[in-house]
Amino acid sequence: MSDRIPVQLIQTFKPAPTRIKARTTDNLIHTRSFTGLFRTLRISGAGVLFLLFFGTVWLNWGGRQAVLWDLSESKFHIFGATFWPQDFILLSALLIIAAFGLFAITVFAGRVWCGYTCPQSSWTWLFMWCEKITEGERNQRIKLQAAPWGLNKLIRRSAKHTLWLAISLLTGLTFVGYFTPIRPLAEELLTLQMAGVSLFWVLFFTAATYLNAGWLREAVCMHMCPYARFQSVMFDKDTLTISYDAARGEIRGPRKREVKPANIGLGDCIDCQMCVQVCPTGIDIRDGLQMECIGCAACIDACDSIMDKMGYARGLIKYTSEHQLQGGKTHLLRPRLIGYTAVLLVMIGALAVALVQRPMVSLDASKDRGLFRENSAGQIENIYSLKIINKTQQRQAYHLSLVDGDGFILQGKTQLSLAPGEIVDVPVSVAMLSERPGKGSEEMTFKVADSDEPGVYSVAKSRFVAPMNR
């Protein structure tokens, strides 16, 4: 019996799949149109935000613009409430709450803020829609970009940039309209009478919108936005991020619809490149989570549509966690998320209490530059200037007094009537009774209270200066 050479079966070599580059030869990302659940959610959310941004500025309330940051008078009107510079600590609290809200949502679901509600993303999607209706679908835009300049290209490009500039101008006008009354501002723009500071800022924000949403696009998210840099610090293995299920999808490769992938040694990914073509930042999610991913879920919608056509289960690309991809279970409640949420709720509660208890009258006291003087009655007297603001929307009557003013007499106008939002400077003097021993310098507290509701008041502190041991 002759010796036989042993035969060993080896796996057939499969070449790496050919990839479609997200960026074309013009170094631009031309996204493909798609439909799906997350696209519908994003459009609905962006529609609500656009309606709020462009519509709120035109609302009136009590004879004035409902929402207006009046820089000339240092007042911020928001419907029935008016906030003054003394209330800006509340704005700081609101910004801190927004930051902790962003931290909490990032720990829970990654970069969904960027994908669904970020102004940069929302305006970019709007500009991309303008690009689609003027220049056509992805392949048409690529061909138009490569084509030499002619009448067709000139008309299409002009239409696109006209829409971009119109939206940018409307955006700039609306944004400035929150700081300067929008109606006279719009009238000045339409009659070409706008000039000075208003014209500068309208043109500035018009240019910023046009450049950021029309030209820079994904570069803002990838290189200019700091959120992309520190988001990974807040991620953990239970954060819901958009991920490709490599265990199910590999090995990739094209096949006919009726062929079962297991019979030819392939996974569910048919390597159609749809996930790359719809991505606004031009990444391939199959390479893993990347800094450039803004969590818009466009790749999920595109992949699910392909899975439906192939008769496969959805979810080859989906919102999932690292633990779940590794066969484990996602833990929704975890210390970091609970901590951020707890702090967020506490701060919201504190802000609500501060808003409810916010004094609707403001009092500032400043002492005259002179140390003291002796009046005709032989009493030591100090002069003060009291600044009083009526923060309500109605005329109010107020009473001025001293807190714990034993041994002192408040002289001047103590009964006041202020119109809504009125600011008055009231000169007063405080005299020390002759029988009270002088201490050199001691604290003095002024109080202004609503004559009808004594519980509505404000206090301000100053110093009373007198000779020692008088």
Residue-wise pLDDT tens digits, 89-98: 888 899 999 9
How much is the average pLDDT of 45-68?
A: 94
137 is a domain residue:
yes
196 is a domain residue:
yes
DSSP 224: I
CB burial readout 357-387, b (16+ within 10 A) else e? eebbbbbebebeeeebeeeeeebbbbbbebe
271 is a domain residue:
no
Confidence (pLDDT) at 18: 47
Burial class (CB in 10 A: 0-12, 13-18, 19+), 395: exposed
Residue 25 pLDDT > 60, yes or no?
no
Position with higher pLDDT, 73 vs 380? 380
Confidence (pLDDT) at 468: 74
Q: What percent of the chain has pLDDT over 70?
A: 94
Q: How many C-beta atoms lie closer than 10 Å to residue 197's C-beta?
A: 10
How much is the average pLDDT of 190-196?
A: 93
250 is a domain residue:
no
Considering its fold, how many domains does the chain have in total? 2
Q: How many residues make up the chain in this entry?
A: 470
Confidence (pLDDT) at 24: 61
Q: Show which of 158, 188, 216 is a domain's final residue.
A: 216
Residue 19 pLDDT > 60, yes or no?
no
Q: Using CA atoms, how far apart are residues 52 and 414, in angstroms rounded to an integer?
A: 45
100 is a domain residue:
no
353 is a domain residue:
no
Segment 370-412, tens digit of pLDDT: 788 888 888 889 999 999 999 888 899 999 999 988 889 999 9
How much is the average pLDDT of 421-434?
A: 91
How much is the average pLDDT of 247-253?
A: 95
How much is the average pLDDT of 409-431?
A: 93
Q: Show which of 189, 216, 243 is a domain's final residue.
A: 216
Q: Using CA atoms, how far apart are residues 391 and 419, in angstroms rounded to an integer?
A: 9
pTM for the full model? 0.84
Q: Phi, psi (5° rounding) for residue 122?
A: -65, -45
418 is a domain residue:
yes
How much is the average pLDDT of 227-238?
A: 82
Enclosing domain of residue 428: 361-468
374 is a domain residue:
yes
How much is the average pLDDT of 428-455?
A: 87
Residue 15 pLDDT > 70, yes or no?
no
Segment 81-135, tens digit of pLDDT: 888 887 888 888 999 999 999 999 999 999 899 999 999 999 999 999 999 999 9
CB 303 within 8 Å of CB 276: no
The CATH number linked to 448 is: 2.60.40.10
Q: Show which of 216, 240, 265 is a domain's final residue.
A: 216
